[in-house]
Structure 1
């Protein structure tokens, strides 16, 4: 966690060059266990990067492009991510508790044990995402698009599912309407019916 901001800026600049020259110059970003809360990310692309176990808590990252990045185990607690793009990203074990993820794109993303507790995912694009043991407790999923998404052992207690779109085309394997400690698992058609009844 001791990497200084100047060094991070140099690496971000190098990553931007790497993207702009399609890998001819610069270097792909790879950072691990760095607190980025005091780094101004506004000028830098964060797509196609390896950013693991880093801290983005409370930052303003609206419309930021994280597509095709590996973000495993990073935290975005109470972060503004409205319109952010996580398409084809790996956000497994990421913590989005209380984050603003409105209209964000999580299409084709991998969300294994990802935490969206109390996150606002209104109008989010979850198309073809993999949601395995993902925690959506008390999350807002108004008008979220879940076509072709896979749901397995997903926690949904208290989630607001009004207007969720594409359920009939989603792969609903199982959902947990209880808690991790006291699960209440619904599978297959029973899970789908519960989702339809609660949207």
Structure 2
């Protein structure tokens, strides 16, 4: 049996940062299999407001501990025991919590952005502290990896789960009302008895998901992908859904014709294309003239837009996984908060667009801020000055792309391909995943 780090028996006494550093150092020896090295055991301890950031805390024991206000940013906490711990207002951004025991934890207002909770057990559990803390109310789980997580009976009213990966997760009887789940991946998840009333489900992927007795009253399912969803005893009419074109081919021809007239006449005749909130799944728009078009909250799964002119178009919050925009004109195009997983932008022109106005020239950069570009490809693309702030670019192909002067503040480029990339003058403050060789 592994030794544990010596602590006072007075479990309610708060330990200091200096004491914590000594315990963490001893834990590293434990992980290195050194004889008699103590494992980090903070079971029932008061360790509020302390800094654990970027340490390896694998296999540590935080069960029933009060960790409120503490910083666990970037920690490796795989297989950790956090059963019944209080983590109110704590920071777990980018932490690794794979297979951890999070049953009965209190995570109100906690920050778990980009945390990896794959395979974690987040059931409500049986532990409840004196404050009744055992839920995720108001927590930030944006971009969190919750693949295969057990969230049965979880209480998460008003939590931010936008762009999180909940594929294959168990959400049976979960209380997720009034949550932000925009652009979340819920493929093959179990939503039996789940309360999603009033929640933002714009752009979610529900492919293969189970919706049995799921409450969608007042939810917004605009741009949601529902292919293969197993729906029983669930009323979809209670939720808002995407707009449908009556005759998609004829309607699109008319819209594009009027838009062309609007462009050529500088707005004097014709009509600007407005496809906001429409379902354009697998639409073929190769080479189309869509500059300055309104396409917000559009469902463009597997859409074909190769060589299209989308300069100054607004596709913010669109749901466009696997979209192809190879060699497209994307100067000044807005893709902020869009779901663009596995999209193809090879050889696209995303450079700044100079717009001449009476009061002077206006520079408009392409904007991908807050978008999910996991596994997307920008090979040989012109990305000069592009706004990638807070963007997820995990495993993206950036080979031979020009990111001169790009904004990469807070972006996640873990696993991206960088061969031949140009980053001259790029702002990489807070970005992760960029090899040091490219930061010189």
TM over 0.5: yes
Following superposition, the deviation at residue 8 of structure 1 comes to 2.7
What's the offset of the Cα at 1:44? 3.7
Pair 1:107 & 2:369 matched? yes
Picking from 5, 15, 31, the partner of 2:280 is 31
Which piece of structure 1 moves more, 113-122 or 37-46?
A: 37-46
Task: Tell whether the 8 Å contact from 1:53 to 1:73 is kept in structure 2 after alignment.
Answer: yes
**Aligned counterparts, 1:65-84, within 5 A:** 65-84=314-333
Query: Residue 168 of structure 1: which of 414, 425, 429 is its match?
Result: 429
In the other structure, the counterpart of 2:406 is 144
- Structure 2 residue 294 is matched with structure 1 residue 50: no
Query: Whose relative contact order is higher, 1 or 2, with alpha carbons under 8 Å and at least 6 apart?
Result: 1
Q: Aligned-pair distance for 1:129?
A: 0.3
Are 2:292 and 2:310, in contact at CA under 8 Å, matched by a contact in 1?
no
Determine which structure has the larger strand proportion and give its number: 1
Q: Secondary structure at the match of 2:336?
A: coil
In 2, the alpha carbon distance for the partners of 1:67 and 1:149 equals 18
Between the aligned partners of 1:148 and 1:43, the Cα distance in structure 2 is 28
Quote how far apart the aligned CAs of 1:42 are.
4.2
Does structure 2 retain, via aligned residues, the 8 Å contact 1:11–1:29?
no
Which deviations, in whole Å up to 9, do the C-alpha atoms of 1:124-172 show, x marking residues without a partner?
000000111000000000000101111110100011111111x2321x1
Give 1:5's aligned residue: 249
Q: 1:40 to 1:4 in 2, by over 3 A?
A: farther
User: What residue ranges of structure 2 are gaps of 5+ in the alignment?
Assistant: 1-246, 257-270, 352-364
Of 341, 344, 348, 1:92 maps to 341
| Alignment match, 1:185 | none
The CA deviation at 1:5 is 3.4
Distance 1:196 1:109, change over 3 A: same
Q: Deviations over 1:11-60 (max 9, x none)?
A: 899x938x5xxxxxxxx301211211254434741111111111111111
Aligned partner of 1:63 in structure 2 is 312
Q: Is residue 274 of structure 2 the alignment partner of residue 16 of structure 1?
A: yes
CA distance in 1 between partners of 2:329 and 2:291 (Å) = 13
Give secondary structure in 1 for the equivalent of 2:376: coil
Query: C-alpha distance in 2, partners of 1:59/1:148?
Result: 30
List 4+ stretches of structure 1 deviating above 2 A: 7-13, 37-44
Q: For residue 57 of structure 1, give the secondary structure of its aligned residue in structure 2.
A: coil
1:133 partnered with 2:395:
yes
What does residue 138 of structure 2 align with?
none
User: 1:80 touches 1:101 (CA, 8 Å); kept in 2?
Assistant: yes
**Structure 2 SS opposite 1:194:** helix
Q: State whether residues 48 and 68 of structure 1, in contact with CA within 8 Å, keep that contact through their aligned partners in structure 2.
A: yes
**2:381 matched residue in structure 1:** 119
Whole-angstrom distance in 1 between the partners of 2:426 and 2:349: 17
Q: Secondary structure at the match of 2:326?
A: coil
Corresponding residue for residue 23 of structure 1: none
Partner of 1:87: helix, strand, or coil?
A: coil
> In 2, are the aligned partners of 1:5 and 1:39 still within 8 Å (CA)?
no
How does the TM-score come out when normalised to structure 1? 0.76
